[in-house]
Structure 1
C-alpha cells in the first residue's frame, strides 16, 4: 500500500503540534506524564513570582507554580495554583509565603504546621505576608536613624551649653591655643620637609651605589667565578695525602736525628766519640807532615840522578804549618 504525500505531511504536522504542546507545557512547569495534585494559595501580592517558579518545603523542591490569576476584578488578591510533584503530607495549618533571594528568583515556601489532618487535592493553603529585601533594610535602618538623630540633638545641646558657658577670655585662650597649634604644625611641616630632603639624598646615594653595582655586574660575576674555581681546586686538593706524607718524612727525619745523636751509627760515633776525633786529628796532622816532607825533600823518597848527592837531612817531625799549634815546624 502506497502512502500519499498528503498523508505524510498531515501526520508530520500532527506530530509537530503534539511535540509543541508538550514542550510548551513542560516549559510552563506542567508535567503531562505524571499525575500531580494541585493546591491553591491566595496572596495579596505576588511581585517577582512567575509561573514555573519552584515550591520548597524545608529547602526541598516539592512542586512548581502552575498558574496565577486575579481573585476578582478589583484585584484584591492573586490566587496561585501549586502543582505538587512529590507525595508529601502537608498539615492543614501550614502557611505559604513568597520568598525572594538577593540575586535569585522568587519562590513559594511552605512552612509546615502541626495539624493531624493534611491538605488534599484542591484545598487552599493559608498564607502569610513576608517582608521584602527593601522592607527588611528599611526596618533595620529606621531604629538606627532614630538613634543618630537623638545623638545629633544631644551634641547640638552640648555645644550650645559650652558656647554659653565660656567667657570671652576663655575663648581668646582657645583661639591662641589653636593659633599655636597652627604654628607648631607649620614648624613640623618644615622639619618633615628637611627630613624628606635628607631622605631623598640618601635614596639618591643608594641608587648611585646600586647603579655602580649594576655596571660592575660582569666584573663581580667574574670575581665570583674565579673564587669559586679557586675554592673548587682547594676542595679537590689532596690535603690528607700531603699531610700524611709530611708526617712520614718528619718521622724519618726524627729517626735519623736520633741515630746521629746516638753512638750506634758511624756518624753518631764520629760526632760523639772524643777519642776518635783526636785520633782522626792526629792522623790528619801526620799526613800533612808527610806531604810537607815529600815536597821539601823529594830526593829522600825518589832518586832519579845517577851522580846526585844523597840528602842527609833528617825527616820532618811536624808539618810546615801546624794548624793545631801556634809555632812553625822545622823544614
Structure 2
C-alpha cells in the first residue's frame, strides 16, 4: 500500500503539534510521564510572580507555577501550581509569595501541624508577605522611634546645659580646653621623645639592646671557659664537702684548750717558765749579775794591765779595782743585740 505525500505531511504535522504541546507543558512544569497534581492559591498581589516559577517547601522545590489568571476587576488573582512531588500538605498550611529582587520570585508553602491533608486540586490558604523593603521598614521603624525619642532627650539635655552654664562656667570650660590643648602638645613632645628613645638606629633603647646582645655574644663565645670555671668550682665544692671539717674543728678546739692551759701555767709560779716570768727574785738576780758584769767590764777598760800584761819587765798595776760601775754604765746595762 502506497502512502501519499499528503498523508505523510499530515502525520508529521500532528506529531510536531503533539511534541510542541508536550514541550510547552513540560516547560510550564507539567510532567510528561510522572505523577503530578494541581494546587490553587488566591492572592490580591502576586509581587511579580510568573509562570514556571518554583514552588518551595522547606527550601526544596516541589513544583512550579503553571498559570496565573484573574478577572477584569483585578481584585483576586488565581495561581495554578503543579506539584511534581507527592507530598502531604496539612489543611492549615499557608502559601506565601517570596519576592527576591536578586533572584526569582517563588511560592513558599509553610506547612501546618494538622493531621488532615489537602486533597488534590484543592485551594490552599494564603497570606500576604511583606517585601524586602517593607520588612526593612518594619524593622527600622522601632529604631527610628527610639532615635526620635533620643533626639528629644538630647535636646532637653542641651537646653538644660545652656540654662545652667553661665558666662563664668563657659570661661572655665574654655580654660579647661586650653589646658587640654597644652596637655596634648606635651603628649606630642613626649611621643617624639619616645620615638627618639625607640629609634632603631640612634635610640638609647637600641644601644642598650646592642650592648645586651654584645654581652650575650661574649657569653656565648666564652661558653667553654665558663663551663670549665663552673666545672672547677664544682670540683672545689665537692672537695670541700668531702673534707672532715668537724674533725678539723675538734682538733683546733683541743689545740686552743691546750694553749689556754699553757698560758694559764705561764701566769702562775708553778713550773720553770712560770717562775722565770713571775718570780721577782730572778729579775733581781739578773739585774745584780748585769751590774757586776758592768763593773768588771768597766774595770777592765780602766785598768787593762791588771788583767792583761804584754811586758816582761813591766810594772804591775797595784791600784784598787772598781767597786761601782762608771757613770756612763750605771743603771744602764749593756744590751746584747741578737742577730
Q: Would the alpha carbon gap of residues 202 and 67 (structure 1) be closer, same or farther in structure 2, given more than 3 Å must change?
A: same
Q: Would the alpha carbon gap of residues 168 and 97 (structure 1) be closer, same or farther in structure 2, given more than 3 Å must change?
A: same
Alpha carbons 2:97, 2:105 under 8 Å: kept: yes
Q: Would the alpha carbon gap of residues 188 and 118 (structure 1) be closer, same or farther in structure 2, given more than 3 Å must change?
A: closer
Aligned to 1:164: 163
Structure 2 matches for 1:110-149, cutoff 5 A?
110-113=109-112, 117-149=116-148
**Distance in 1, Cα, partners of 2:195 & 2:115:** 82
Q: Would the alpha carbon gap of residues 166 and 117 (structure 1) be closer, same or farther in structure 2, given more than 3 Å must change?
A: closer
Alpha carbons 1:48, 1:105 under 8 Å: kept: no
**Distance in 2, Cα, partners of 1:198 & 1:117:** 82
Question: Equivalent residue of 1:62, what SS?
Answer: strand
> Per-residue deviation at 1:130?
1.8
Aligned length: 206
Aligned to 1:54: 54
**Distance in 2, Cα, partners of 1:118 & 1:141:** 38
Q: Would the alpha carbon gap of residues 175 and 79 (structure 1) be closer, same or farther in structure 2, given more than 3 Å must change?
A: same
Alpha carbons 1:66, 1:81 under 8 Å: kept: yes
Question: Equivalent residue of 2:150, what SS?
Answer: helix
Say whether 1:74 aligns with 2:56.
no
**Distance in 1, Cα, partners of 2:5 & 2:168:** 112
Alpha carbons 1:96, 1:110 under 8 Å: kept: yes
Q: Would the alpha carbon gap of residues 7 and 157 (structure 1) be closer, same or farther in structure 2, given more than 3 Å must change?
A: same
**Distance in 2, Cα, partners of 1:190 & 1:89:** 78
Alpha carbons 1:25, 1:31 under 8 Å: kept: yes
Aligned to 1:290: none
**Distance in 2, Cα, partners of 1:36 & 1:184:** 81
> Per-residue deviation at 1:73?
1.4
Aligned to 1:177: 176
> Per-residue deviation at 1:146?
1.0
Alpha carbons 2:38, 2:83 under 8 Å: kept: yes
The TM-score normalised by the length of structure 2 is: 0.51
**Distance in 2, Cα, partners of 1:55 & 1:143:** 33
Aligned to 1:109: 108
**Distance in 1, Cα, partners of 2:197 & 2:110:** 72
Alpha carbons 1:37, 1:121 under 8 Å: kept: yes
**Distance in 2, Cα, partners of 1:62 & 1:203:** 75
Q: Would the alpha carbon gap of residues 197 and 30 (structure 1) be closer, same or farther in structure 2, given more than 3 Å must change?
A: same
Question: Equivalent residue of 1:45, what SS?
Answer: coil
Aligned to 1:155: 154
CA displacement 1:56-98 (0-9 Å, x = unmatched): 334443322111112x212112110011223334343432212
**Distance in 2, Cα, partners of 1:35 & 1:60:** 18
Say whether 1:42 aligns with 2:39.
no
Gap regions ≥5 residues in structure 2:
204-339
Gap regions ≥5 residues in structure 1:
205-331
Cα RMSD after superposing both structures: 3.5
**Distance in 1, Cα, partners of 2:197 & 2:5:** 99
Question: Equivalent residue of 2:124, what SS?
Answer: strand
Q: Would the alpha carbon gap of residues 186 and 37 (structure 1) be closer, same or farther in structure 2, given more than 3 Å must change?
A: same
Alpha carbons 2:30, 2:84 under 8 Å: kept: no
